[in-house]
């Protein structure tokens, strides 16, 4: 399970993937960024 949560609004985005490889994580982060941008959240400050 890959998840991203906006700390201020608590808006969340999740996907299920079979691995945690760099390419999988990078693609997830790109899609998460698009999702958040569509909801008015345009800046990612930290990935942990």
pLDDT, tens digit (0-9, with 9 covering 90-100), for 35-48: 999 999 999 999 98
Which helix (H) or strand (E) is 15 found in, with range? strand 12-15
Confidence (pLDDT) at 48: 85
- Nearest in space to 25 (alpha carbons), one of 35, 10, 15: 15
- Largest separation between any pair of C-alpha atoms in the chain: 30
pLDDT confidence band for 1 (50 / 70 / 90): very high
Average pLDDT, the chain: 96
Confidence (pLDDT) at 42: 95
CB-CB neighbours of 31 under 10 Å: 14
Confidence (pLDDT) at 45: 92
- Nearest in space to 46 (alpha carbons), one of 4, 10, 1: 4
């Amino acid at each position: 399970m890959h998840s991203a949560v906006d700390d201020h609004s608590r808006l969340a985005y999740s996907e299920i993937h079979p691995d945690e490889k760099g390419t999988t994580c990078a693609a997830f982060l790109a899609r998460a960024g698009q999702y958040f941008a569509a909801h008015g959240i345009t800046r990612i400050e930290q990935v942990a």
